[in-house]
A = this chain, B = another copy of it.
Amino acid sequence: MNLDEILDAIYLLPKDSKAKLRDLVTEVTFPKGHILLREEKVERSIYFIKKGIVRAFSIKPEKEHTFWFGSEGETAMSMQSYINDLKGYESIQLLEYSELYKLNTAALKKLFSEDIHISNWGRRFAELELVKTEERLISQQFHTALERYTVLVASNPDLIQRVQLGLIASYLGITQVSLSRIRAELK
């Protein structure tokens, strides 16, 4: 997914505004396993995923929890850093070799105050992330691990192929043993 498609999917910008935004972006690549951003650090960039797959996780009390998978077209970022210039809860790691568009947020914020179209782009960006986050919350709260697993498989079949089960179990909030039990019953 190229940069124009990613930007347009958020909000359609006039040519000159879009050029200003595109100027803030550089392309970067990293190998599998690379830690894109670290929890407890203030992150100065956000990353649109051109190609690849990543996970967000946090090492809370001892245990590591994976709570998000991102792939082509999605944004890898720390909300707390982007929105409040605070340390993020999450680390983000590449689960395969990935190509990313890196966007400096300080420069972006400057454009928000200067260009109403870019300001509306930024509003739309936050709104779309908000809806996605709310959907995750509701799925988490209303559905059993089994239901969420079947939805995940249906909506993202390659994820199961590309990501190891322990991480998916963590994402579903259950142990790997429980996920194995679920998978055994589905056969």
Contact = CB atoms under 8 A, between A and B. Distances in A.
Given A116-B116, A120-B113, A130-B126, A141 B65 contact: yes
- Please state the number of chain copies in the assembly: 2
Contact of A126 (B82, B126, B140): B126
Interface string A61-87: 000010100000000000110111000
Contacts of A128: 83
For chain A, which range describes its interface: under 10, 10 to 19, 20 to 34, or 35 or more residues?
A: 20 to 34
B130 A83 contact: yes
A123 B130 contact: no
B137 A83 contact: no
A58 B130 CA distance: 18
Contacts of A80: 131, 134
6 contacts: A58-B142, A83-B131, A84-B131, A122-B123, A123-B126, A130-B130
CB-based closest 8 A-B pairs: A123-B123, A126-B126, A116-B116, A119-B119, A130-B130, A83-B127, A137-B137, A126-B127
